[in-house]
Chain A
């Protein structure tokens, strides 16, 4: 009898080209590229006279700094335009497939990959972006990397990775009304802390995960990095296969059948030993809202802003006070008394069709509160946008007072014109509430799409689990 193996071990050992000490040279099956973290990598190839090892594994799109307003094919900001143009030139020169602005397939790289079937179970996936953990929802071993590693992967099709510990998080029970995968992952991060997953590959399992759609599993894996875990995983099941069947880059016919036979083995064997494990009963969770400047600084919507005086660790206490000062919040303030100036629905965390449906369902027939200066919805890709329009979701957003935009990363990081002004407060479905993340001096509260929509209507956070 063979030793039971974890999903992580199966994926890892399948990709080892060679080993040294506590690291392995892993082969990379899919490399996702975008405009901001790739120009210096292509320049490096050019200077060294190197070519991509396997250009058919590389897929590129422009997402981080692109405008989200209409008629954006000519970008006004010269620096953004230069970066997007450079991506086009690099893809031309090195023979890489690019979904440019104007192509319906363009969008946020972590939305585009799965949508195209370019992310498949059993793959290793690399991108010069920390939220590459998203692709782990497909039982793919996916790593966010820096630009030098982008160049290394382009040139060698491989990367050296330190061996990781595995952390199994079992999610049990049924999600209460108004509680989504976003709330679950925020609760997990609050529990682990911002560095609790460092050096770990997190596998999410349990009946609550099995009940989630692929979109929701992507939300879960997307934010593992906010607990420090570079890799997140969900085992393959029928939901995975149903999502992938018929996608443009998924295998077809007999090859599909063969692939499914292998992919069904991409689960942790019963009795496989993880380095650590944790169980959470999701039926006790509440809708979550971040109050501070780290995603771990998150509480339930019916809770209050915490008091640093209650924190015993001096470094953490100072950090909490700094966060309160930056966020202009007083300890003890009810979360439902916090009033956002802007609403952002979008990002690689929450800009898929299901996220837009959830927000639109809350908005139906109602209007954004007059105290809200701007409410933005930015679909994750051109195809998500088209699907939403086919379902009439765009009308629900627009009728409620939202701006319906073109796809991109937008206000998640504010590299384009969509950013907060100093002091502005935002209810955001994105992934990071760091100081200045959405614009210098801007204040971010991380929430689910349904919560963002409810806050837009009420003008303050509200307990959407009621009613």
Chain B
């Protein structure tokens, strides 16, 4: 996983509550067995006017000019500003793979769905929870100022705004450490292999029916 330290990036606003993972990546693109190549189909049914199918090249698609990601001023955005319950619905990690492939590394919203929130950290994406009134103010600022950028500093746990204001955010220290260092969380857990084996032996005594031949 790529490490995340500081990002200075353009902000794209997606002004909808309850953005679900079906919208982030429609089901027909989940037939892929790879982790890459989903970026062109991020928000497929909102981003394009024609129906999307796997393998259909982007050059043959008709862009929806009204969809925010297609507006020239937001081209190259790496920070997505969203509303409450972002990433609700299906557990599909393909939603994250599509966001990462598109170039999004930070999502700022008042709230995230639990599974999506966890999936972010597994893919080097930083989900930042901010109070709803702060998010309201950011939507207004991004709309008013073309080329609106923010600097997200994970180490300092704060976002620097163009007007000089700093917004602090909370994050679980372990997850922060994993993101800062791009750590492989499986390798970290396997450092506890002895604990897991010890636990397992105890459970086998308590609930032998859960163990084959136990």
User: Of B2-10, B70-78, B156-164, B201-209, which stretch is located at the interface?
Assistant: B201-209
Residues of chain B within 8 A of A48, CB atoms compared? 186
Q: Tell whether A25 pairs with B189 under 8 Å between CB atoms, given A157-B200, A195-B113, A434-B22.
A: yes
Residues of chain A within 8 A of B90, CB atoms compared? 129-130, 413, 432
Contact with A along B34-45 (1 / 0, CB 8 A): 110000000001
Residues of chain A within 8 A of B193, CB atoms compared? 156
Query: Which parts of A181-218 form the interface with B (CB within 8 Å)?
Result: 194-195, 198-199
Q: Does B92 lie within 8 Å of A262, measured CB to CB?
A: no
Q: How far is the CB of B177 from chain A (nearest CB, A)?
A: 10
Bound CA span A309–B193, Å: 58
Q: Tell whether A27 pairs with B199 under 8 Å between CB atoms, given A145-B91, A434-B22, A437-B22.
A: yes
23 residue pairs of the A-B complex, CB under 8 angstroms, read A17-B192, A25-B189, A40-B35, A48-B186, A56-B211, A64-B30, A120-B209, A128-B93, A129-B90, A145-B118, A146-B91, A149-B118, A152-B186, A160-B189, A162-B114, A194-B88, A198-B111, A228-B85, A255-B208, A262-B206, A315-B17, A413-B22, A436-B45
Q: How far is the CB of A279 from chain B (nearest CB, A)?
A: 25
Query: Which parts of B83-97 form the interface with A (CB within 8 Å)?
Result: 83-85, 88-94, 96
Residues of chain B within 8 A of A80, CB atoms compared? 31
Q: Does B209 lie within 8 Å of A251, measured CB to CB?
A: yes
Residues of chain A within 8 A of B17, CB atoms compared? 315-316, 319
Q: B57 on the interface (CB 8 Å rule)? A: no
Partner of B89, one of A65, A162, A259, A434: A434
Q: A158 on the interface (CB 8 Å rule)? A: yes
Residues of chain B within 8 A of A294, CB atoms compared? 18
Q: B137 on the interface (CB 8 Å rule)? A: no
Query: Which parts of A19-37 form the interface with B (CB within 8 Å)?
Result: 20-23, 25, 27, 29, 36-37
A positions within 8 Å CB-CB of B: 17-18, 20-23, 25, 27, 29, 36-37, 39-40, 43, 48, 50, 53, 56, 64-65, 77, 79-80, 82-83, 86, 120, 122-123, 128-130, 144-149, 151-152, 155-158, 160, 162, 194-195, 198-199, 225, 228, 230, 251, 255-256, 258-259, 262, 294, 315-316, 318-319, 322, 413-415, 422, 432, 434-437, 440-441
Query: Which parts of B140-195 form the interface with A (CB within 8 Å)?
Result: 172-174, 185-186, 189-190, 192-193, 195
Q: Which 9 A-B pairs have the closest CB atoms?
A: A148-B122, A146-B93, A251-B209, A195-B85, A79-B31, A39-B33, A146-B119, A147-B93, A56-B212
Query: Which parts of B106-130 form the interface with A (CB within 8 Å)?
Result: 111-115, 118-119, 122-123
Interface centre among A83, A225, A255, A316 (most CB of B within 10 A): A225
Q: How far is the CB of B156 from chain A (nearest CB, A)?
A: 19
Q: How far is the CB of A199 from chain B (nearest CB, A)?
A: 7
Q: Tell whether A436 pairs with B91 under 8 Å between CB atoms, given A86-B33, A151-B186.
A: no
Q: Tell whether A37 pairs with B195 under 8 Å between CB atoms, given A82-B33, A230-B115.
A: no
Residues of chain A within 8 A of B34, CB atoms compared? 40
Bound CA span A23–B114, Å: 14
Residues of chain A within 8 A of B91, CB atoms compared? 37, 128-130, 144-146
Q: B54 on the interface (CB 8 Å rule)? A: yes
Closest to A57 in B: B210
Q: A145-B115, A195-B113, A228-B85 are in contact. List 12 more A-B contacts (CB 8 A).
A: A37-B92, A40-B33, A48-B186, A64-B30, A129-B90, A148-B123, A195-B85, A225-B89, A251-B209, A318-B16, A436-B23, A441-B45
Q: How far is the CB of B1 from chain A (nearest CB, A)?
A: 9
Q: Tell whether A259 pairs with B189 under 8 Å between CB atoms, given A228-B85, A319-B16, A434-B22.
A: no
**Across the A-B interface, how many residue pairs have beta carbons closer than 8 Å?**
180
Bound CA span A29–B91, Å: 20
Chain B, interface size category, equals 35 or more
Q: Tell whether A123 pairs with B210 under 8 Å between CB atoms, given A48-B186, A198-B113.
A: yes
Q: How far is the CB of B54 from chain A (nearest CB, A)?
A: 6
Query: Which parts of B11-35 form the interface with A (CB within 8 Å)?
Result: 15-18, 20, 22-23, 26-28, 30-35
Q: How far is the CB of A288 from chain B (nearest CB, A)?
A: 19
Q: Does B33 lie within 8 Å of A43, measured CB to CB?
A: yes
Interface centre among B88, B114, B172, B190 (most CB of A within 10 A): B114
Q: Tell whether A152 pairs with B185 under 8 Å between CB atoms, given A415-B28, A415-B31.
A: yes
Residues of chain B within 8 A of A27, CB atoms compared? 196, 199-200, 203
Bound CA span A18–B115, Å: 21
Bound CA span A17–B51, Å: 47
Residues of chain B within 8 A of A162, CB atoms compared? 114, 172
Q: How far is the CB of B42 from chain A (nearest CB, A)?
A: 14
